[in-house]
A and B are shown apart, each in its own frame.
Chain A
Amino acid sequence: MSSLETGIDITKVHDDDHAHHEELSFWRKYVFSEDHKVIAKQYLITGIFWSIIGLGMSVIFRLQLGFPGIDMSWMRPILGQWLDETGKLDPNFYLALVTMHGTIMVFFVLTAGLSGTFSNFLIPLQIGARDMASGFLNMLSYWFFFIAGVVMFISLFIQTGPASGGWVVYPPLSALPQAMPGSGLGMSLWLVSMALFIVSQLLGGINYITTVINLRTRGMSFNRLPLTIWAFFITAILGLISFPVLFSAALLLIFDRQFGTSFYLSEIYINGEALPNVGGSPILYQHLFWFLGHPEVYIVLLPALGITSEIIATNSRKPIFGYRAMIASIIGIAFLAFIVWAHHMFVSGMNPFLGSVFMFLTLIIAVPSAVKAFNYTTTLWRGNIRFTPAMLFSIGLVSLFVTGGLTGIILGNSALDIQLHDTYFVVAHFHIVMGAASAFGLFAGVYHWFPKMFGRMMNTTMGQIHFWATFIGVYLVFFPLHYTGIAGFPRRYYTFTSYEFTKSFTDLNAFVTIAAIFTFIAQFLFLYNFFYSIFKGKKASKNPWQSNTLEWTTPVVPGHGNWPGEIPAVYRWPYDYSKPGAKEDFIPQTVPHSQTPESNLPHENEEIAIEKDIEAQNFNDQFRNAH
């Protein structure tokens, strides 16, 4: 479409508000769209689809754990051959469900659904850009994700079942089709799907980084960026560095599976046959996997923390406390995230000296994380808090982040990890700190930016009830799992009836299952609210939360190019809430200091002088340059 405009006199472009753009066909507008807002919605809807599947799976295997041997015949239409004659879940399928649940939740829901949605939606809007640096790559990114999803989805229905070796798919289990049915075709599809997914992440990541670096509007210096953008920016860098390593890990695994190489295989005797492979190391795979795997937990968490920073500041009507410390801690966490991976491998047989090193590095991460938690709490202090659903979920996120983060300090201690590794203590820990916390970030983001996405409001009361049900539900599900972990219950167990030491806690396990079902059902409140409000919600105003950031200066439903006229310039940081002397309790980023003499701090009066310079700057407008 863009080639048409080449040669148009650039000073006249935009006077007519894009009237010259010919109407796009339905396909180009809603399906193969290059508009970041549409792509964001595509990510969101796809993420929601996958979360229903992923969470539904957890309910099924949770039923088996809470009520061992429960008759699931009523689900035969869905589960079919995976139930035996008496309606019991097949142990292989239990593992398949756990694996798919983990893969789907981590990659498809919280990586693509969270980061994909909000990086796409907010980066151009909050930095003042017309769109992403490359709309085309952005579109490709979504469609690679989509195809990855299709491949994974198909793998659910094949005869031998989907990949079943846990979401980490450690070889040799995942490398040898004879080791379990899921390591056959299902595993191949898993690898193909993940390879596509990684391509999608890389295309997206390059775009996010380029856009943030190059397309900020006039005056939007790095120290005026909202913390959301800082978080997305750093997350994209994390992904760009770590995903290729997973790609190589997957590639070598494909070689071992298909071409008889021995990267991960050595001295194996299976099914009455000694394999010829010698010299490989399963530990190598673990190193490669966790080199992505650990940053991955921050890839899902940092965007959630960025979203939370923004929402807490807006709804406390206060500047975020310690803006610079927040940026520093994001960068600190991101850097450390690369050098702690082997804390997942303390008892893998790797050299114990490495264990000491990684314990030390891991516990350092607690420091920037603690700073973040303290800063959020202080932001609430002496605020004037509005409990929008987004705000509630943000506060919930901080609580979960603290609770789950603290047990991480236990697990990061290599000595203590001896007993706790691969027990339910780990399951409790990572569900709270990464699963639930990031999911809360996703909810918070949707409630907060829904008006900008769809031009309508979601129902507040329903959102509040959804929050309380989810918040209570999450704690009821995952807090008790610490107890079973301390009692030594290993994870990825089909049932706890084979050992004496796991015969206790049967009531507790039943209780957790019931709480999980409750929590799961509560999510339908959100679904209803979401889809109903898209069509029937109350019409939104331009800036319903009285927020400072740039996206709220666009029309209620921003069109192609986001701002009808010129992109606004930015004169101040995004957190001028409740500034003493100011007429209102918020001052948008677009208001120059020269217009607010009553509330300027001494050093800000100096900034008035450079306002002219900001205005004189290059527009940095993609539409100004022939495109």
Chain B
Amino acid sequence: MVYIIGLLTLVFLVLTVMVIARLRNVVKGVNSGTETRPENIPSGNSWNANLFILFTIFSIIGVIGTYIAAEEDFLPAASSVHGRRLDDLFWFSMGVLAIPFLVVNFLLFYFSYKYQYKPGRIATYYPENHKLEIIWTAIPAIVMALLVFTGWRAWSDITSEAPADAEVIEIVGKQFNWIVRYGGVDDNRLGNYNYKLIDAQNEVGIDLTDENSLDDFTNNTEIHIPAGRPVLLKIRARDVLHSVFIPHMRVKMDAVPGMPTKFWFVPDKTTNEIRAELGDPNFDYELACTEICGRGHFAMRMRVIVEDEASYRKWVSEQKTFLQTYPEYLAKVPDNLKSKAMKYLPENPTAPATAPADSTTAQEAGAVGVGASASVR
């Protein structure tokens, strides 16, 4: 990092000095009137030509130097299967594109230097060359075709339907945190939801009239995912747009109110593994928001914990279901499911019969929101 600063400062300084030197030179030039350039040639013509060469040299050093220095701080190799494919594709494309970047910029600056004004020289009248033009239309076209093809293959694989054995986890964005919901301690199936059922406790609008909802549980600080198996994120937003971003997994998908989205991937490095690999016992995967969503957009952090299957299962089975946390919601469970729901209540249910104050409104809302109640399965 220090190197970056060092190098860039150097470039910065040298060029500033050059400019100042140039300035002084001009002042001198004005005084002594030595230059014998025709009126139409701007003052300092050759100076500017030389500066292009200097600029080229310094920027080559700068680009390579800063790249080497910056590389240490790039993200570690992706911890997901598709992520590593994307990394390869990214660096391959960057490699291909580095060629025109260097060549065209170099030629541009070199020609500027080489063909600077010289008294008596006449520029070459060279208005076109069809062969040349066809060649340099065809080459980018071929390269593009190659890049499109590789990109398209990766994209279709990544966006294909999730495998049937994927672990389905719902993630909901709101101002300004994420909430995850799991299919449950027993049935591992997400129940329905309805945004009209949302309230201060039921933050994701779990619809308790659906049998599958009864054992669902939520978490708004951590998301646990199993390693070595596809994970399907069912993504939605409560208020405004958000975007799920797990940088180390190369995962990103917008969360859209009213339009559930999804993204599946195969994480294959547990948190413990990557901690060992990086030699950093405090390392954590993180989940961020990348769609501007208001004041707290920059701080929607959620910890991502990747575990092996066994400890993941164990963690799931230890979670407190939603009903366990808020037993008063038993009132919203229809009578035919009540007996089943009792199972997910705390040992001594605290007066499940007394309905919470807002239950009627919620039921009403549920009825109004026909059609809006969606299945996430």
Q: Which of A325, A416, A515, A578 contacts B125 (CB 8 A)?
A: A578
* A491 neighbours in B (Cβ, 8 Å): 290
What is the CB-to-nearest-CB distance from B254 to chain A, in angstroms, rounded to a whole number? Answer: 5
What is the CB-to-nearest-CB distance from B4 to chain A, in angstroms, rounded to a whole number? Answer: 6
Contacts of B91-139 to chain A: CB distance below 8 A: 93-94, 97, 100-101, 104-105, 107-109, 111-112, 115-118, 121-129, 132-133, 136-137
* B258 neighbours in A (Cβ, 8 Å): 265-268, 278-282
Q: Which of A360, A476, A545 contacts B152 (CB 8 A)?
A: A360
Contacts of A245-295 to chain B: CB distance below 8 A: 265-270, 272, 274, 278-283
Nearest opposing residue in chain A for B260, CB measure: A349
Q: Which of B83, B94, B156 contacts A352 (CB 8 A)?
A: B156
Evaluate contact between B151 and A415: CB separation under 8 angstroms.
yes
Q: Which of B59, B199, B257 contacts A268 (CB 8 A)?
A: B257
Q: How many Å lie between the Cα of A471 and that of B56 in the bound state? A: 12
Evaluate contact between A508 and B1: CB separation under 8 angstroms.
yes
* B195 neighbours in A (Cβ, 8 Å): 267-269, 274
**A31 located at the interface, meaning its Cβ lies under 8 Å from any Cβ of chain B in the complex:** no
Q: Which of A385, A399, A402, A490 contacts B49 (CB 8 A)?
A: A385
Q: Give B270-314 as 1s and 0s: 1 = Cβ < 8 Å from A's Cβ atoms.
A: 000000000000011010111111111111010000000000000
**B166 located at the interface, meaning its Cβ lies under 8 Å from any Cβ of chain A in the complex:** no
* A468 neighbours in B (Cβ, 8 Å): 15, 18-19, 51
Given known contacts A173-B294, A321-B128, A499-B288, A465 and B256 CB-to-CB distance under 8 angstroms: no
* A243 neighbours in B (Cβ, 8 Å): none
What is the CB-to-nearest-CB distance from A68 to chain B, in angstroms, rounded to a whole number? Answer: 10
* B53 neighbours in A (Cβ, 8 Å): none
What is the CB-to-nearest-CB distance from B127 to chain A, in angstroms, rounded to a whole number? Answer: 4
**B261 located at the interface, meaning its Cβ lies under 8 Å from any Cβ of chain A in the complex:** yes
Evaluate contact between A488 and B75: CB separation under 8 angstroms.
yes
**A580 located at the interface, meaning its Cβ lies under 8 Å from any Cβ of chain B in the complex:** yes
Evaluate contact between A356 and B152: CB separation under 8 angstroms.
yes
Evaluate contact between B115 and A173: CB separation under 8 angstroms.
no
Evaluate contact between A406 and B297: CB separation under 8 angstroms.
no
* B241 neighbours in A (Cβ, 8 Å): 170, 172-173, 282
* A389 neighbours in B (Cβ, 8 Å): 42
**A493 located at the interface, meaning its Cβ lies under 8 Å from any Cβ of chain B in the complex:** yes
**A592 located at the interface, meaning its Cβ lies under 8 Å from any Cβ of chain B in the complex:** no
**B8 located at the interface, meaning its Cβ lies under 8 Å from any Cβ of chain A in the complex:** yes
Q: Interface size class for chain B?
A: 35 or more
Contacts of B171-211 to chain A: CB distance below 8 A: 175, 195-196, 198-200, 205
Nearest opposing residue in chain A for B240, CB measure: A173
Evaluate contact between A475 and B97: CB separation under 8 angstroms.
no
What is the CB-to-nearest-CB distance from B37 to chain A, in angstroms, rounded to a whole number? Answer: 10
Q: Which of B63, B156, B259 contacts A283 (CB 8 A)?
A: B259
Evaluate contact between B48 and A494: CB separation under 8 angstroms.
no
Contacts of B8-42 to chain A: CB distance below 8 A: 8-9, 11-12, 15, 18-19, 22-23, 26, 40-42
What is the CB-to-nearest-CB distance from A497 to chain B, in angstroms, rounded to a whole number? Answer: 9
**A12 located at the interface, meaning its Cβ lies under 8 Å from any Cβ of chain B in the complex:** no
Evaluate contact between A359 and B152: CB separation under 8 angstroms.
yes
**A608 located at the interface, meaning its Cβ lies under 8 Å from any Cβ of chain B in the complex:** no
**A92 located at the interface, meaning its Cβ lies under 8 Å from any Cβ of chain B in the complex:** yes
* B159 neighbours in A (Cβ, 8 Å): 352, 355
Given known contacts A374-B136, A480-B70, A416 and B89 CB-to-CB distance under 8 angstroms: yes
What is the CB-to-nearest-CB distance from B45 to chain A, in angstroms, rounded to a whole number? Answer: 5
**B326 located at the interface, meaning its Cβ lies under 8 Å from any Cβ of chain A in the complex:** no
Q: How many Å lie between the Cα of A173 and that of B112 in the bound state? A: 49
Evaluate contact between B2 and A385: CB separation under 8 angstroms.
no
Evaluate contact between B43 and A461: CB separation under 8 angstroms.
yes
Evaluate contact between A577 and B125: CB separation under 8 angstroms.
yes
Q: How many Å lie between the Cα of A422 and that of B254 in the bound state? A: 11
Contacts of A373-420 to chain B: CB distance below 8 A: 373-378, 380-389, 392, 395, 398-399, 402-403, 406-407, 409-410, 413-416, 418-419
Q: How many Å lie between the Cα of A349 and that of B243 in the bound state? A: 10
Q: How many Å lie between the Cα of A511 and that of B11 in the bound state? A: 13
* A360 neighbours in B (Cβ, 8 Å): 148, 152
Evaluate contact between B48 and A399: CB separation under 8 angstroms.
no
**A15 located at the interface, meaning its Cβ lies under 8 Å from any Cβ of chain B in the complex:** no
* B245 neighbours in A (Cβ, 8 Å): 422, 488, 490
> Which of B73, B257, B288 has the most chain A CB atoms inside 10 A of its CB?
B257
Nearest opposing residue in chain A for B121, CB measure: A384
Q: How many Å lie between the Cα of A253 and that of B209 in the bound state? A: 36
* A402 neighbours in B (Cβ, 8 Å): 100-101, 104-105, 108
Given known contacts A91-B296, A317-B123, A585-B122, A480 and B8 CB-to-CB distance under 8 angstroms: yes
**A347 located at the interface, meaning its Cβ lies under 8 Å from any Cβ of chain B in the complex:** yes
Q: Which of A282, A378, A422, A499 contacts B257 (CB 8 A)?
A: A282
What is the CB-to-nearest-CB distance from B216 to chain A, in angstroms, rounded to a whole number? Answer: 18
Evaluate contact between B116 and A387: CB separation under 8 angstroms.
yes
Evaluate contact between A577 and B240: CB separation under 8 angstroms.
no
**A156 located at the interface, meaning its Cβ lies under 8 Å from any Cβ of chain B in the complex:** no
Q: How many Å lie between the Cα of A279 and that of B251 in the bound state? A: 28
What is the CB-to-nearest-CB distance from A312 to chain B, in angstroms, rounded to a whole number? Answer: 10
* A534 neighbours in B (Cβ, 8 Å): none
* B156 neighbours in A (Cβ, 8 Å): 352, 356
Evaluate contact between B90 and A419: CB separation under 8 angstroms.
yes
Q: How many Å lie between the Cα of A479 and that of B133 in the bound state? A: 30
What is the CB-to-nearest-CB distance from B283 to chain A, in angstroms, rounded to a whole number? Answer: 7
Q: Give B228-259 as 1s and 0s: 1 = Cβ < 8 Å from A's Cβ atoms.
A: 00000001001111010101101111101111
Evaluate contact between B97 and A406: CB separation under 8 angstroms.
yes
Evaluate contact between B239 and A480: CB separation under 8 angstroms.
no
**B352 located at the interface, meaning its Cβ lies under 8 Å from any Cβ of chain A in the complex:** no
Nearest opposing residue in chain A for B59, CB measure: A475
**A128 located at the interface, meaning its Cβ lies under 8 Å from any Cβ of chain B in the complex:** no
Nearest opposing residue in chain B for A414, CB measure: B155
Q: How many Å lie between the Cα of A511 and that of B5 in the bound state? A: 7
* A373 neighbours in B (Cβ, 8 Å): 104
Evaluate contact between A472 and B100: CB separation under 8 angstroms.
no
Q: Which of A319, A419, A464, A578 contacts B252 (CB 8 A)?
A: A419
* A355 neighbours in B (Cβ, 8 Å): 155, 159
Evaluate contact between A272 and B200: CB separation under 8 angstroms.
yes
* B26 neighbours in A (Cβ, 8 Å): 461
Evaluate contact between A367 and B151: CB separation under 8 angstroms.
no
Q: How many Å lie between the Cα of A125 and that of B298 in the bound state? A: 50
Evaluate contact between B124 and A318: CB separation under 8 angstroms.
yes
**B158 located at the interface, meaning its Cβ lies under 8 Å from any Cβ of chain A in the complex:** yes
* A395 neighbours in B (Cβ, 8 Å): 52, 108-109, 112
Nearest opposing residue in chain B for A410, CB measure: B93
Q: How many Å lie between the Cα of A490 and that of B4 in the bound state? A: 21
Given known contacts A95-B297, A585-B122, A387 and B238 CB-to-CB distance under 8 angstroms: no
Evaluate contact between B148 and A318: CB separation under 8 angstroms.
no
Evaluate contact between A347 and B372: CB separation under 8 angstroms.
no
What is the CB-to-nearest-CB distance from A484 to chain B, in angstroms, rounded to a whole number? Answer: 8
Evaluate contact between A469 and B19: CB separation under 8 angstroms.
yes
Nearest opposing residue in chain A for B245, CB measure: A490
**B349 located at the interface, meaning its Cβ lies under 8 Å from any Cβ of chain A in the complex:** no
Evaluate contact between B127 and A367: CB separation under 8 angstroms.
no
* B334 neighbours in A (Cβ, 8 Å): none
Q: Which of A319, A380, A418, A490 contacts B250 (CB 8 A)?
A: A418
Evaluate contact between A172 and B239: CB separation under 8 angstroms.
yes
Evaluate contact between B70 and A383: CB separation under 8 angstroms.
no
Q: Which of A179, A366, A585 contacts B144 (CB 8 A)?
A: A366
Q: Give A147-180 as 1s and 0s: 1 = Cβ < 8 Å from B's Cβ atoms.
A: 0000000000000000001100010110010011
Evaluate contact between A483 and B94: CB separation under 8 angstroms.
no
**B321 located at the interface, meaning its Cβ lies under 8 Å from any Cβ of chain A in the complex:** no
Q: What are 28 A-B contacts defined by CB distance under 8 Å?
A: A170-B241, A269-B205, A280-B258, A325-B133, A364-B144, A371-B133, A383-B124, A385-B117, A386-B41, A387-B49, A395-B112, A407-B97, A415-B151, A422-B252, A460-B43, A460-B44, A461-B22, A468-B18, A469-B19, A479-B62, A480-B70, A495-B298, A499-B301, A500-B286, A501-B247, A515-B8, A578-B125, A585-B123
**4 tightest A-B CB contacts, nearest first:** A266-B258, A352-B159, A488-B247, A349-B261
